[in-house]
Amino acid sequence: MTKNILYFLLIFIIGFSTMTRSKDMTARIKIDTDRKIGKIDKNLYGNFAEHLGRCIYGGIYDPGSKLSDENGFRKDVLKAAKGLNVTILRYPGGNFVSDYHWLDGIGPKDQRPTRLDLAWKTLEPNTFGTDEFIAYCRKLGTEPYLAVNMGTGTLDEAKNWVEYCNVKEGPYYAELRKKNGHPEPYNVKYWSLGNEMDGFWQMGHKDAVDYGKFALEAAKLMKWTSPDIKLIAAGSSNFYGDADPHKWNRIVLNYLKDYIDYISLHLYVGNRDNDYYAFMASPLEIEERTSIVEGQIEEALSKTRRKTPIYVAWDEYNVWYRARGAGFNTGRNALEEKYNLEDALVIAGFLNAFIRNAHIIKMANMAQLVNVIAPIFTSKTDMFRQTIYYSLALYANNSFGTALDAFVDSPTYDTKKRKQVPYLDVSVAYDDGTVVINVVNRHLDQSISTRLICQQGKFDGEFSVYEVNGPDIKTENTFGSEPVRTKEKPAIKVNGKSFTYEFPPHSLTVIKGKIK
Ligand code: AHR
């Protein structure tokens, strides 16, 4: 008898708690095509290729491999990279660039010097350089973005590299490019003034004033050589010890405000403590740091007569915490992070943050393209797509046009650092009648039944649904097995102001259709 009562009591408690929990797990997303944030720049879907580990050598470039073409480019990697719709590719570093002398990487390959790469403690053969990089960009159909050496480099080197790439004919370096078999200028539009120059780990690291002065002189010479180029200043990346990243950005913006078009920021996040919910919220730092820099840009612009804007370029972002430390950081297999489902959701969180700030963030580059903290992973004979590949590919192939400021009413959770983090992380893109709704359900084990409401006009017709998910948040992909990938779900037929969708736990869902 007592046993029976206890049994019923238990059933009641379980039933009641499930009911109350799932009762809370509802949300609303209101979409209003009049609430525009800004144009989504195609360069939000950029990537990065550094001379580091097996990103270039053994990743992009593997001459002699049966998998490579006549240029030595791995065909399987190129095909996978095309699936990411890489709109802009940053090169050659990263930390590597702060001791890179571009003249080492041009001309006959057998005459190019091998150098010590002090950034990643290895040998740099220089068999891949400017001409090979541009050829790769043309094959991939992407915009090249070069970083100049502001560490051990000189003003002359920076200016001459622009001349080599962008001046048609006449001066020495333009003629040198022609002599090397490239009669037409490369017209490289995007150039960054060094990399992470605030970091003590950078070769030739400077304080903000020294960097500001040096970068200003480089910027002048580079723009005078090729007036249409866009310049990106190295913003803050040093959050260690008593470094003051905001002060760095303020000083640098003040020096460079008349010459730069972007200031670059970097963010890597990780899940060291295995705190899933805090990790899921970590891309929110993008929004926090962007809004601080946005104010600083406004302040700097208020002191100049220029009428054109300065934007934010998050030109390095990713999950990176496992393949760190001395054992991982050096040599040919450096930074070979293996990604799981939770990482793929965090990448979707980054992309949502970029889209929600599309008015000011006009470039973002996942670091990096192949093998090194990368969506594409190779062996000598094979390759696979890491979990993060699928999130990036979904956004890069669908979310264009104008970012809309959706109203999201979602249940929330608290972490040690942040209060009221919504379980649903949402961004919306709208392009010529097509709406793309990107939703991460951060909840670990509950789906969220969500009413999607159209404020202007109505949802009209068939809506495609794509989902990135997997059996478990720790599931990884590997050679021959990609359990975490995009699956197309049954389309939804909608004709009206609203519909309901159940977003499954630990998932990214992209819903795409027409508004009339
Ligand atoms: O992407 C790996 C490294 O991270 C880059 O070389 C550097 O810029 C950053 O610290």
Three-class DSSP labels, 460-513: EEEEEEEEEECCCCCCECECCECCCEEEEEEEEEEEECEEEEEECCCEEEEEEE
Dmax (CA) of the chain: 100
Q: Is 171 part of a structural domain of the chain?
A: yes
Q: Is the dihedral of CA 322, 323, 328, 329 positive or negative?
A: negative
Length of the chain: 516
Domain harbouring 107, CATH code: 3.20.20.80
Residue nearest to atom 9 of ligand 1 (CA): 94
Residue nearest to atom 8 of ligand 1 (CA): 94
Please identify, among 384, 401, 418, the residue that sits at the C-terminal boundary of a domain.
401
Q: Pull the structure tokens for residue 195.
A: 């990399």
User: Following CA atoms 47, 77, 351, 500 in sequence, which dihedral angle do they give, to the nearest 10 degrees?
Assistant: 160
Domain of 470, in residue numbers: 25-37+404-515
Q: Is 76 part of a structural domain of the chain?
A: yes
Q: Are residues 397 and 408 in the same domain?
A: no
Residue nearest to atom 7 of ligand 1 (CA): 94
Q: Is 72 part of a structural domain of the chain?
A: yes
Q: Are residues 197 and 234 in the same domain?
A: yes
Q: Pull the structure tokens for residue 388.
A: 């993060």
Q: How far apart are the CA of 95 and the centre of ligand 1, in A?
A: 6
Rounded Cα–Cα distance for residues 205 and 118 (Å): 14
Q: How far apart are the CA of 81 and the centre of ligand 1, in A?
A: 20
**Whether 256 contacts 309, CB under 8 Å:** no
Nearest atom (ligand 1) to Cα of 93: 6
Q: Pull the structure tokens for residue 25.
A: 């797990």
Domain harbouring 504, CATH code: 2.60.40.1180
Q: Are residues 472 and 504 in the same domain?
A: yes
Residue found by looking up tokens 């002599």 in the block: 179
Q: Are residues 474 and 377 in the same domain?
A: no
Rounded Cα–Cα distance for residues 100 and 183 (Å): 25
Rounded Cα–Cα distance for residues 90 and 137 (Å): 10
Q: Is 106 part of a structural domain of the chain?
A: yes
Please identify, among 367, 401, 435, the residue that sits at the C-terminal boundary of a domain.
401
Q: Where are the alpha helices (DSSP H) in 305-442?
A: 326-329, 341-356, 387-396
**Whether 384 contacts 480, CB under 8 Å:** yes
- Counted domains in the chain: 2
pLDDT tens digits, the chain, 516 residues: what are they? Answer: 455 555 555 444 444 444 444 456 999 999 999 999 999 999 999 999 999 999 999 999 999 999 999 999 999 999 999 999 999 999 999 999 999 999 999 999 999 999 999 999 999 999 999 999 999 999 999 999 999 999 999 999 999 999 999 999 999 999 999 999 999 999 999 999 999 999 999 999 999 999 999 999 999 999 999 999 999 999 998 888 888 989 999 999 999 999 999 999 999 999 999 999 999 999 999 999 999 999 999 999 999 999 999 999 999 999 999 998 766 667 788 899 999 999 999 999 999 999 999 999 999 999 999 999 999 999 999 999 999 999 999 999 999 999 999 999 999 999 999 999 999 999 999 999 999 999 999 999 999 999 999 999 999 999 999 999 999 999 999 999 999 999 999 999 999 999 999 999 999 999 999 999
Q: Where are the alpha helices (DSSP H) in 86-146?
A: 130-140
What residue type is 389 in one-letter code? Answer: Y
Does the CB atom of residue 450 touch ligand 1 within 6 A?
no
Rounded Cα–Cα distance for residues 439 and 203 (Å): 41
Does the CB atom of residue 93 touch ligand 1 within 6 A?
yes
Annotated active-site positions, please?
Answer: 196, 316
Q: Pull the structure tokens for residue 254.
A: 């003040």
Nearest atom (ligand 1) to Cα of 52: 6
pLDDT at residue 17, rounded to an integer: 43
Please identify, among 381, 401, 421, the residue that sits at the C-terminal boundary of a domain.
401
Q: Is 228 part of a structural domain of the chain?
A: yes
Q: Is 12 part of a structural domain of the chain?
A: no
Give the predicted TM-score (pTM) of the model: 0.94
The β-bridge partners of 489 are 465
pLDDT at residue 240, rounded to an integer: 85
Q: Are residues 100 and 147 in the same domain?
A: yes
Q: Are residues 236 and 350 in the same domain?
A: yes
Residue found by looking up tokens 């090249």 in the block: 144
Mutational test site, ligand 1, from 48, 50, 145, max ligand atoms within 8 Å of CB: 50
Q: Are residues 389 and 251 in the same domain?
A: yes
**Whether 208 contacts 248, CB under 8 Å:** yes
Q: Are residues 58 and 164 in the same domain?
A: yes
Rounded Cα–Cα distance for residues 417 and 278 (Å): 8
Q: Is the dihedral of CA 182, 187, 193, 199 positive or negative?
A: negative
Q: Is 17 part of a structural domain of the chain?
A: no
Q: What angle do CA 370, 92, 209 make, to 5 degrees?
A: 130
Q: Are residues 375 and 474 in the same domain?
A: no
Q: Are residues 348 and 450 in the same domain?
A: no
What is the radius of gyration, based on Cα positions, of the chain? Answer: 24
Nearest atom (ligand 1) to Cα of 196: 8
Does the CB atom of residue 476 touch ligand 1 within 6 A?
no
CB-neighbour burial class of residue 197 (10 A; exposed 0-12, middle 13-18, buried 19+): buried
Q: Are residues 409 and 296 in the same domain?
A: no
The SS3 of residue 31 is: strand
Q: Are residues 93 and 238 in the same domain?
A: yes
Q: Is 445 part of a structural domain of the chain?
A: yes
